[in-house]
Amino acid sequence: MQAMSSSLQIVLLPQQAAVKLRLGIFLISAAIFVATAAAEVSNSSCNRTCGSLEIPYPFGTSKGCYFNLSFLITCKSSSSSSTSTPTPYLRVSNIKVLNISLDGELRVSASVARDCPQKSNYNSSKNNTNLTLQKFPISYSKNVFTAIGCDTMGLISSSASDKNYMTGCVSLCDSIDNMVNGSCSGIGCCQTPIPDGIKDLNVLAGSLENHSKVMKFNPCSFAFVVEEKAYKFSTLDLQNMQGKRAFPLVLDWAVGKQTCKDAKKNTIEYACKAANSECYDSTNGPGYRCNCSLGYDGNPYLSRGCKDIDECNTPNHGCAVNAICVNHMGSYSCSCPIGYQGDGWRNGSSCTPVIPKPSNSKNIIIALCISISLLVLLLGGSSVLFGLKRRKLIKLQEKYFQQNGGLMLQEHILNHGRSMETTKIFSNDELKKATNNYDESRVLGKGGYGTVYKGVLPDNKVVAIKKSKVCDKSQIEQFINEVILLNQINHRNVVKLLGCCLETEVPLLVYEFITNGTLSDHIHDISRASPLSWERRLKIATETARALAYLHSETSMPIIHRDVKSTNILLDDNHTAKVADFGASRLIALDQTEITTLVQGTLGYLDPEYFQTGQLTEKSDVYSFGVVLAELLTGEEAISTNRPETYKNLAMYFVSAVKEDRLLHILQDHIVNEANIEPLKEVANLAKGCLRLRGEDRPTMMEVAMELEGLRNMEKHPWGKDNQTTEETEYLLSTPTLPFNIDIGVGSSASAVSGHDSMINQLLKPLDDGR
């Protein structure tokens, strides 16, 4: 395996420089990985049972089916009769295996030590228990040493382990009368715990006076180590253990001798193969274990072993009785149906109908009659006043409409009727109603740029409405042009602009509502239940690249996004990427506090060549996209003071690591597994290409998109996993989202960007001074 991956590396190295399609290589590497992965865990041909025992990987009965020899289970059929069920043994020992669980427990059968002195009916016999486990320690938390008898001393010792120790307990009594079933407090039965980390056992039973005084009811002494739950003392055991000769003993199994931290460094040997799995250090001796992340279950040792749990199909999910439960990958959500209010969770406020039931008292009817007549009187008077106010408002709205370029837009719609069929000019009233008069509870997010509200249109369509803070009057024409242009974009990976409202002091923009927050949240918010898997990251990268390639080359006029960053990539419930895009930058007020937040938000993604020359080309987006790729690969922030001074900038940190062949050290731990090292390297090289200093040397967005697409197909096909159906249903689901702050440039002509250049120059200044 080692040899194979290093030879692959040699094949790929010369390719690093050229960023072009290398589908041939993908095919070869993918094919090799299928082959090696199959050799490692050929689950189809492996025998996964022995008698009634289920044998999950990493355990196995034959070569190629277990992780390493420690996990060998020998399955033997007893030679005497051919029909008897076969018996599983631990490795090559004669220790019978009873049960294997993936949470690190292994039950074996351990015999009972006994001592029956001369005069007993059971012939004089003395039998010790000797157990040598070698690899897996005996669980100190689950087992207990137990001795049974009324003239009994039980001893337990261990020598082969690192620890030499001996302990025991004594049980003395003279009649059965004062014994209590189930109690091992030294009368008839005594117990004592065992220490951690022991891997062998020697158990001895003995007596002090050869049972001479208690022979009638207790002829023998017994001693054994047993799973605490599996043994309950009964006075009947004093005779002959009711014939029981062995008890279950729990072992704590773990992989290897390393801690998680060390084990992760060797990705080939690392046993937690599943995406969405986590590593835990063993609590009893060296080694580590794997578990599926929260929200997933299955076998974390298999590369596709951890499956999403459909919580909504489990009986005790946390949604309130009449709430709607929606399953997501690794989590789920509850919400109240339309017409109900509440947060939908069982422990929160359950769903109640919005309209309170009228109570059926007569008084209410009388009160109603009175108030209606009063109302009629009042209305008569106030309608005159109201009419005057209303007219004033309408006039103001008309004024704003004109100020905001409404006539210009209307004219355009008239001239280009068909192509503008999706542009909607919303009225102020409509949006007020949609946002419940811009109610605080509808705010999705606030920032230097303004406020984003969640709105519900009369047809129940959920939208995001952006209300900017200040509008620069000189750029109204620009703004209208952008609204028109962006409205024509119809790409599934671009957030759709639905329309705008010009009747307010600042124009309002109405967007498609994206449900699952920003990519940045998903990468950097450690409080999220489960991190994005590599497959998902690759999907998001591919979709983003596709969207940018489309903006660059397939729209009537090339559109340069100019602010590609992880906070501008929104995700819906199926983790489909939506590049958020509109001309909001024009609307950003240039006061001091907002500049600093903008610098922080965008620095780290800005193309250095564009910084220096002021020349904007599509390649600036390619650079920014390269930073997003690096972010996806490393899980690091684009700018972080946690890194050394020279590597504050992720682009520099990333490129130097790739150049020095340290890629494996900087990749985010959980995305790396044996099967995706090569694809990860490919993507890293692609990111490096995007981050070249000279724009000319960078690939085009189209090339990037095609290369990612190729890689994704490679990942998808060998295992036949295809999530097309989920992609198609993605528009149907929705839950709350975060706001977007997007900055997009239209066209590459100098005039189109002049307004923004001066801003960038201003942004640069404090940075230079600060160095």
Ligand X SMILES: *[C@@H]1O[C@H](CO)[C@@H](O)[C@H](O)[C@H]1NC(C)=O
Annotated binding-site ranges: 467
Distance CA 478, CA 710 (A): 38
Partners of 746 in beta bridges: 559
Cβ contact 717:723 at 8 Å: no
Partners of 72 in beta bridges: 60
State the sign of the Cα–Cα–Cα–Cα dihedral 764, 766, 769, 771.
negative
Residue 127 beta carbon to ligand X: minimum distance, rounded to whole angstroms:
4
Residue numbering of the annotated binding site for ATP: 467
Which CB atom, from 120 or from 234, has the smaller least distance to ligand X?
234
Residue 105 beta carbon to ligand X: minimum distance, rounded to whole angstroms:
8
Q: What is the dihedral of CA 305, 310, 314, 316, to 10 degrees?
A: 110
Residues of the shown chain interacting with ligand X in the complex, contacts defined by CB under 6 A: 98-99, 101, 107, 111, 125, 127, 179, 181, 234-236, 245
Backbone angles phi and psi of 729, in degrees to 5: -95, 0
* Pairing mode of beta strands 246-252, 151-158: unpaired
Residue 577's alpha-carbon distances to 152, 544, 546, 554, 712, in angstroms, are 71, 6, 10, 19, 15
Residue 235 beta carbon to ligand X: minimum distance, rounded to whole angstroms:
4
Which CB atom, from 300 or from 626, has the smaller least distance to ligand X?
300
Which CB atom, from 300 or from 450, has the smaller least distance to ligand X?
300
Kindly tell me the burial class for residue 575, based on how many C-beta atoms sit within 10 Å of its own C-beta (0-12, 13-18, 19 or more).
buried
Distance CA 570, CA 326 (A): 19
Element (H, E) at 277: strand 277-281
Closest CA to 319 of 302, 344, 340: 344
Please tell me whether residue 550 adopts helix, strand or coil conformation: helix
Which CB atom, from 97 or from 658, has the smaller least distance to ligand X?
97
Residue 279 beta carbon to ligand X: minimum distance, rounded to whole angstroms:
22
DSSP state of 738: -
Distance CA 539, CA 493 (A): 11
Which CB atom, from 181 or from 656, has the smaller least distance to ligand X?
181
Element (H, E) at 107: strand 105-111
Cβ contact 143:198 at 8 Å: no
Which CB atom, from 111 or from 542, has the smaller least distance to ligand X?
111
Backbone angles phi and psi of 463, in degrees to 5: -135, 165
Distance CA 542, CA 559 (A): 19
* Pairing mode of beta strands 49-50, 53-54: antiparallel
Q: Is 563 a catalytic residue?
A: yes
Residue 75 beta carbon to ligand X: minimum distance, rounded to whole angstroms:
16
Residue 130's alpha-carbon distances to 110, 156, 191, 686, in angstroms, are 9, 10, 19, 60
Which CB atom, from 36 or from 234, has the smaller least distance to ligand X?
234
Q: What is the dihedral of CA 297, 300, 304, 310, to 10 degrees?
A: 10
- Give the angle subtended at the CA of 272 by the CAs of 73 and 571, to the nearest 5°: 145
Q: What is the DSSP string of 141-204?
A: TTEEEEEE-SEEEEEEEE-SSS--EEEEEEEE-S-STT--TT--BSSSEEEE---TT--EEEEE
Which amino acid makes up residue 641? T
Which CB atom, from 127 or from 734, has the smaller least distance to ligand X?
127
Residue 245 beta carbon to ligand X: minimum distance, rounded to whole angstroms:
5
Q: What is the DSSP string of 487-521?
A: HH---TTBPPEEEEE-SSSS-EEEEE---S-BHHH
Residue 224 beta carbon to ligand X: minimum distance, rounded to whole angstroms:
12
Which CB atom, from 102 or from 559, has the smaller least distance to ligand X?
102
Distance CA 253, CA 100 (A): 9
Distance CA 265, CA 288 (A): 13
Distance CA 323, CA 746 (A): 44
Catalytic residue among 115, 151, 563, 621: 563
The residue behind tokens 């003993």 is 249
Residue 339 beta carbon to ligand X: minimum distance, rounded to whole angstroms:
44
Write out the catalytic residue numbers: 563
